[in-house]
Amino acid sequence: MKNFLQQGDAIAVPAPADVKSGDLVVVGSLFGVAATDADNGADVVLNTSGVYTLNKKSAQAWTVGAAIYWDSENGEATTAADDGGTPTPTAFLQIGHAVATAANPSATGVVRLSI
């Protein structure tokens, strides 16, 4: 196929801020886990599929299969689709599903990214 470019499991985008390897990065409604560190504006490779340990809202218990959203304001994964305030377009973007239980409290949870 002449118009095929790549699989899309890892894509390079301009970093929207300084990022560290392992950070979840959101650009518009596109998201992925940074494969490397990058300065704001520099290209960073985002892994858009796979299973990752991510920072989570500590005061939540997660069950396997729970929908997981990214709270961009607080930089954490959550099972809540919003915080009851005025939503912004990417404030609570669904990023995947929990693939392991996580206790309340706990700092991290295991998430399978969903495109």
Could you tell me which residues come within 8 angstroms of residue 84 by beta carbon, excluding any fewer than 6 positions away? none
CA distance 46 to 56: 19
**What pLDDT tens digit does each residue of the chain (115 aa) get?**
899 999 999 999 999 999 999 999 999 989 999 999 999 999 999 999 999 999 999 999 999 999 999 998 899 999 998 776 665 555 789 999 999 999 999 999 999 999 7
Beta bridge partners of 52: 111
Residue ranges covered by each domain of the chain: 1-49, 50-115
Q: Which pLDDT value is given to residue 89? A: 52
Q: Which pLDDT value is given to residue 112? A: 98
